[in-house]
A and B are shown apart, each in its own frame.
Chain A
Amino acid sequence: MPTDSRFSRLPVSEKGLVSICIEGQTVTALEGESVAAAVLQAGVRPTRTTPVTDTGRAPYCMMGVCFDCLMEIDGKPNTQACMTEVRDGMVVKIQLGARQVSGGDL
């Protein structure tokens, strides 16, 4: 997983830190920010691969419209990372292609 992110945070006033786990790596994120912001800052690329052509994608619109930021978050596949707030202990994985369906056990 690359770590040379081109995204850096603006200085912000007092915000708590949370730890999330992205693809097995512990990453520090700011309380209240989205998973998409956290993975961009952490340099995770791609954050998903497409179901049809298996091409890499990363968060794009950051406002819930384009669905390019789909990731597996706390076991839930195809979750919009830009619409999900980080939470301490959260487990985030790259969404590889189409999600599985397995009888509602997910």
Chain B
Amino acid sequence: MAASIRTSCNGSDVAVVGGGLVGLAVALGIQEKGQQVTIYDEGDIAFRASRGNFGLVWVQGKGDSYPAYANLTRLSARLWGDMAASLEESTGIDIQLSQKGGLFICLSENELAQRAKMLEQMALYHTEGYPFEVLDHQQLKEMVPEIGPEVAGATWGPEDGHVNPLYLMRALLKRFTDLGGKLINSGAISTVQPVNGQFHLYSAAGRYVSDKVVLAAGLGNKKLASMVGIEAPIFPNRGQVLIAERVKHFLDYPTGHVRQTAEGTIQCGDSKEDVGLDSGTTTDVLADIARRAVTMFPLLKDVRLIRSWGALRIMTPDGHPIYQQSEQFPGAFLVTCHSGVTLAAAHAGPIADWITQGSPDPVLNLEKFHADRFQV
């Protein structure tokens, strides 16, 4: 017989389903507002994009055909510095945020021209300004002397950056629990049932009750959202990552394909595969990632590879997030995206405010992130 745990005694308790970066950031933001939040997490058997991602805080090109997403991304990037500083001050964990700009390296002239065109079009939408630069081979070489001879050039985004996503996760969790937030290793929440204005959550471990529920369960959101009247077309998209040994610092900026961590580790990968719920790795894709990395930075030729993994992005048909409160069951919120790192500061800030208050800041244009946009 499953245990029954009642966590809600008044009208302010919030359950967050999913303890990855998205769930943690939203939960922390709500807990900071003084509401009691409990995170229900599946545990380490979960597909955990938070542990497999690339660690970019990335702006350039995001939302190229969707200004609301571009704006949200840039807002989050602007909020990131304060969030990182506050996390470090309160937890003592340096999450290694660096926002000195980022490079998207293009191997062919054609790719560079296409990308320049895409960013020029974005600048037209964003009358407030959309900073970027297109660098030819020579200009790029002056900035990054280690660049390979076959590289055509790069686009430079001054708002881009990177962070250590594992330290980020640890810091968010520590801050959340220090403030009195609760984390329950509940196993997967299999059912969310709206009952008289509250929500009953069920897992193999028992039943939990809350006044509000935030679905931040990544790929698990598809099933859970339908239980609160939201159709969320979410599907996995696999990325593979190659890790090389620590080497002396040579790369000042993250790129879309290769970055060097604060400790010196080299991380490579930008593959996209539609392979269902398979987070494995394949030799051909990893070989291609390695080949591209060495073409971009020939000095990596002799560097030893020490690890590889696959991880599943949480994708929507247009690649943009879904933020939606259920109309049928108010108090149920869906938060889902594939950029849990970049958007973490928005999630802990204005998105958490929206859930706490029930109405969003108009500047967010949250109606643009409604799942209705997928219905033809």
Contacts and interface: CB of A to CB of B under 8 A. Distances in A.
B115 interface: no
B247 A101 contact: yes
Contact of A51 (B264, B303, B306): B264
Contacts of A100: 247-248
Interface in A43-100: 51-52, 67, 78, 97-100
A104 B299 contact: yes
A99 B247 CA distance: 5
Interface residues of B, number: 17
Interface in B98-122: none
B298 A78 contact: no
Contacts, number: 37
A78 B301 contact: no
A10 interface: no
B214 to A, nearest CB: 36
A104 B298 CA distance: 7
A66 to B, nearest CB: 12
Contacts of A78: 245, 304
Interface string B264-300: 1000000000000000000000000000000000111
B37 to A, nearest CB: 34
Contacts of A16: none
Interface residues of A, number: 13
Contacts of B306: 67
A82 to B, nearest CB: 15
Contacts of B248: 97-101
Interface string B289-329: 00000000011111110100000000000000000000000
Interface of A: 51-52, 67, 78, 97-104, 106
8 contacts: A51-B246, A78-B304, A98-B248, A101-B300, A101-B302, A104-B298, A104-B299, A104-B301
